[in-house]
């Protein structure tokens, strides 16, 4: 009886073993190479590009990659939330737990260099850039933004502009509004619109970064690029009179926004402009992708654009980049993905949909509409400054505190408290 029982156990374990093996081979389905027990060829791409206005470019890039590498499985591990509101927290947990995605979206500047590179989590890509023949294909300023101590750590896929005001052309025409270039002109236009019962400026600060972005563009308008940069380098204090003036202008600007701003995200707020319920919005030019692809609006017919007041000739640069974390599986396949992402072809399928311009100097301008062409021209001539709201100008810890301070300011509108809080936070810089 005992013998019989042992035999039963043996047969059972054999069955379980067979079951497990066939399960694991079916896990690898979609990749015929696995059947031979080879490594699973897979790339996990981590970003926050989901849904309206965000994912079209990514999906086009993934399709291009799949065309070139049908043997590699792609796991699109995007987590929703504008500016990485949720994705960055998940990424931090994974990186701390030594469970990095194959590659992830990260902004050039401090977010990359003082974040993941300083934490020793990224592999240098200098040889890879040489192999791909990329050293003279990206602007040096951009290579510098993804480099630390002489090493390059990520591949830029795009350049977004942060200091753009998009406007509803019918509303401007109906109310005889000219494009404002100064703060005075902006407030004169805003008064006129408000008197006519139109919301002058759309805001959706359910996630605080949109209000921080508005404030940073006012800061740039007041301080000009040299002092703006000096502020984040710790050379100018946050109670400088320029910062106080910017806070006052920010406070006044908030008198012209939609009442339900706190319950809207950036897409919901941009929609107000698209629908003709508000006249303008300051949004990075991912809003251009949203207007064109999701709301089917025509550039320079339905919506127009101009730089934020007093920032003509200046360009707040936001670059989305992807690198190679340490300790990943499938390094070769990940490099293949980065090679596609950094190629002319890759950039030219991604950027026209995303609303951004290519990071490469040799991309094909004919693939871009008038907004893209104008932005490429502005980029080549403008003074470039890094964004705070998207993590390039200052480390993440400081940005988190600024977002909190801005969030409170939008409700309380107390300039002294705001400046005090910024000054305290700046001790982190």
- CB of 82 or CB of 115, closer to ligand GAL: 82
Confirm or reject binding of residue 111 to ligand GAL (CB under 6 A). no
Q: How far is the CB of 132 from ligand GAL (least distance, A)?
A: 23
3-state secondary structure of 76: strand
Q: Could you tell me if 207 and 82 are in contact, meaning their C-beta atoms sit under 8 angstroms apart?
A: yes
The owner of tokens 């896990």 is: 27
Stretch that binds ligand GAL, among 35-43, 76-84, 254-262, 413-421 (CB under 6 A): 76-84
Encoded tokens for 283:
């949004």
Confirm or reject binding of residue 208 to ligand GAL (CB under 6 A). no
Q: How far is the CB of 98 from ligand GAL (least distance, A)?
A: 25
Q: Could you tell me if 86 and 48 are in contact, meaning their C-beta atoms sit under 8 angstroms apart?
A: yes
Q: Interaction with ligand GAL in 331-390: which residues (CB under 6 A)?
A: 390
Q: Interaction with ligand GAL in 37-66: which residues (CB under 6 A)?
A: 48-49, 54
Q: Within 13 Å of residue 271, how many CA atoms lie on the same side as its CB?
A: 11
Confirm or reject binding of residue 256 to ligand GAL (CB under 6 A). no
Distance CA 53, CA 67 (A): 24
Q: Which of 142, 67, 82, 90 is nearest to 112 (CA)?
A: 142
Q: Interaction with ligand GAL in 211-230: which residues (CB under 6 A)?
A: none
Q: How far is the CB of 210 from ligand GAL (least distance, A)?
A: 9
Confirm or reject binding of residue 160 to ligand GAL (CB under 6 A). yes
Find the DSSP H helices in 119-208: 126-132, 140-145, 169-174, 183-195
Encoded tokens for 327:
């300790």
Q: Within a 10 A sphere around the Cβ of 349, how many other Cβ atoms?
A: 21
Confirm or reject binding of residue 83 to ligand GAL (CB under 6 A). yes
Q: How far is the CB of 209 from ligand GAL (least distance, A)?
A: 7
Q: How far is CA 117 from CA 140, 152, 317, 326, in A?
A: 19, 10, 20, 10
Work out the angle between the directed axes of helices 241-253 and 209-232 (0-180°, nearest 10): 160
The DSSP secondary-structure symbol of 180 reads P
Please state whether beta strands 303-307 and 164-168 pair in parallel, antiparallel, or not at all (unpaired).
antiparallel
Stretch that binds ligand GAL, among 77-85, 137-145, 297-305, 369-377 (CB under 6 A): 77-85
Buried b (16+ CB within 10 A) or exposed e, 71-110: ebbbeebbbebbbbbebbebbeebbeeeebbbbbbbbbbb
- CB of 110 or CB of 320, closer to ligand GAL: 320
Length of the chain: 429
Q: How far is the CB of 427 from ligand GAL (least distance, A)?
A: 25
Which residues sit opposite 122 in a β-bridge? 325
Confirm or reject binding of residue 320 to ligand GAL (CB under 6 A). yes
Q: Interaction with ligand GAL in 278-317: which residues (CB under 6 A)?
A: 284, 286
Q: How far is the CB of 147 from ligand GAL (least distance, A)?
A: 19
Among 28, 56, 73, 82, binds ligand GAL (CB under 6 A): 82
Size of the site for ligand GAL (CB under 6 A): 12
Stretch that binds ligand GAL, among 80-88, 128-136, 229-237, 250-258 (CB under 6 A): 80-88
- CB of 100 or CB of 108, closer to ligand GAL: 108
- CB of 390 or CB of 401, closer to ligand GAL: 390
Q: Closest CB to ligand GAL belongs to which residue?
A: 82
Confirm or reject binding of residue 73 to ligand GAL (CB under 6 A). no
- Which residues of this protein are in contact with ligand GAL, per CB under 6 A? 48-49, 54, 82-84, 160, 284, 286, 318, 320, 390
């Amino acid at each position: 009886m005992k013998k019989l029982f042992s035999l039963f156990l043996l047969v059972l374990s054999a069955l379980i073993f067979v079951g497990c093996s066939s399960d694991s081979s079916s896990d690898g389905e979609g990749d015929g190479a696995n059947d031979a027990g080879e490594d699973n060829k897979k790339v996990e791409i981590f970003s926050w590009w989901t849904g309206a206005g965000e994912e079209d470019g990514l999906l086009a890039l993934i399709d291009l990659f799949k065309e070139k590498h049908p043997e590699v499985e792609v796991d699109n591990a995007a987590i929703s939330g504008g500016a990485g509101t949720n994705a960055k927290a998940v990424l931090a947990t994974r990186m701390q737990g030594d469970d990095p995605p194959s590659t992830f979206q990260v902004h050039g500047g401090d977010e990359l260099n003082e974040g993941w590179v300083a934490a020793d989590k990224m592999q240098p890509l200098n040889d890879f850039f040489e192999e791909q023949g990329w050293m003279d294909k990206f602007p040096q300023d951009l290579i510098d933004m993804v480099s630390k101590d002489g090493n390059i750590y990520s591949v830029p896929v795009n350049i977004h502009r942060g200091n753009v005001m998009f406007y509803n052309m019918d509303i401007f025409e109906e109310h005889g509004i000219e494009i404002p270039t100064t703060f005075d002109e902006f407030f004169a236009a805003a008064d006129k619109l408000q008197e006519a019962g139109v919301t002058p400026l759309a805001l959706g600060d359910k996630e605080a970064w949109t209000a921080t972005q508005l404030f940073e563009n006012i800061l740039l308008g007041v301080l000009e690029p040299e002092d703006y940069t000096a502020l984040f380098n710790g050379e100018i204090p946050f109670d400088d009179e320029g910062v106080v003036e910017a806070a006052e202008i920010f406070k006044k600007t908030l008198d012209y926004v939609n009442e339900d701003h706190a319950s809207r995200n950036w897409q919901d707020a941009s929609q107000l402009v698209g629908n003709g319920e508000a006249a303008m919005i300051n949004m990075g030019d991912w809003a251009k992708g949203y207007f064109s692809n999701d709301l089917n609006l025509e550039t320079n017919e339905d919506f127009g654009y101009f730089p934020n007041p007093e920032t003509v000739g200046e360009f707040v640069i936001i670059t989305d980049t992807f690198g190679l974390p340490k300790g990943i599986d499938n390094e070769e396949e990940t490099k293949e993905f980065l090679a596609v992402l950094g190629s002319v072809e890759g950039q030219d399928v991604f950027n026209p949909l995303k609303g951004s311009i290519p990071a490469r100097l040799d991309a094909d301008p004919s693939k871009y509409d008038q907004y893209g062409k104008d932005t490429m021209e502005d980029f080549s001539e403008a003074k470039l400054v890094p964004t705070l709201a998207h993590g390039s100008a200052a480390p993440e810890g400081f940005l988190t505190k600024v977002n909190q301070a801005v969030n409170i300011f939008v409700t309380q509108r107390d300039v002294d408290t705001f400046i005090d809080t910024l000054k305290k936070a700046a001790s982190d810089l």
